[in-house]
Structure 1
Amino acid sequence: SSKAASIDNDSSLTSNIYKDILEYVLLCTIDEQPSSSFIYLAELAVELPENWQKNLIDQALFERLHMIDPSSHLLISTTKKSTIRNDVNIIIETRCLHYLAGCYQRLLRQHDHFKLVFEDIRKLFIDHTKTAISLPDLYENQDLSKQWLELLIEGQENSLLYEYIDCVNNESLSQITDEIENLYNSVFRYMYKMIQPLDYFSTELIAYVGALKQLAKWPALVRVYF
């Protein structure tokens, strides 16, 4: 019986960790009166999940990523003591890749709290990113190559973001597809356009050079570029 109790405790602990991931990593909730400001997931809330597992986080992520206007689902906490833990602009982020990159970084920053499920959830964010850049039609109103370039540049001064980009590239570039090649063709076109007017010693140019050096680790990309 003590063994059964231990299993129940482990299950309960894991469930609570997944619930925390929903709120503090995905910045979402199924609670109509949340303790902080989050995006309300109406579809997931209908299911009233009690035992949280990875598949529910996957489901939550899918629902959140396909919201046309996340701000219309924003719940601001009404409790007096509540504080907005995150800037509202981060909570209502509409750009698919920026949102996933943000989730990845929030997960890494709270690694110790989430260590029981860390690797599974980390992979989930990488997989969703890989799907987005492989199937851009899923996000037809978004310019994913422009988003990816923005993240590449930001990543030159952000080690967590740099790691995220490396992980996605490792997964995506082992076997380069037409979609990935198209994405990077667009990224390089944008980059060329942005670099042209820059002064030779500008910090912006240094960031672009840094991004190119980062991408040069993958021979498949060097072939695309040249």
Structure 2
Amino acid sequence: MFNLQNDTQYFGATVGRVANRIGGAQFTLNGIHYKLIANEGNNALHGNHNSGNILNQVVQIFASEFTPFDDQLIPTGNFSSVKGTLNDFLKPQVVGSRINQLSKTNGYNVNYVLDKNHVRDITVHMPNHDHNEITVADIVMDKRSGRVMKIATNQPGLQFYTANYVKNDKGKDGFVYQPRSALCLETQAFPDSVNHPNFPSTIVTTEKPYKHIVFFKFSTDPPRGFS
């Protein structure tokens, strides 16, 4: 493990149910044989931070608009349609298909205005929440592993970032990370909302407490349009 106290890149250290090794990087479950990525000799250790880049991953973001920004990445206060832009992920898109055209930011670093839609498959087991305030934000698929992640939230925005400014940063087992080695999908209020009255308010009061809900659903079933 690397020293999280001195980590300036906020790399995650979340470990799943197997916080050690799986021999031969493979196992059989319910008659199905699974092969993992061997990252310590022939074995799988902890998981894998060194898994290449994210250029072949497929992303769909349920947002028809985004908040344009100035040279300091501060929103202008306006809203722009994603149609006809490099930010259009309404249909599934391979991340690397257009990323090199984003010379201004060296990749994606944009806040999306999430469309209102209702989601049931993630929140059906959460009866204490109002399903109508939860919206599907995005779906991501890693074609190499077949893993699919769906995110739903009650927040109005989603920041999509492709590690554009990561350079020669050391992570677990001494692996050195470079730009586009990871992606971030951050459910959020719009950046700089406090300075834009037309943005959803982020002011917290006793009548309006802060409540941030986010659901993650993982599967190996490719959604429509991803396979």
Calculate the TM-score normalised by the size of structure 1: 0.26
- Provide the TM-score with structure 2 as the length reference: 0.26
Structure whose residues are more often helix by fraction: 1
The structure carrying a bigger strand percent of its residues is 2
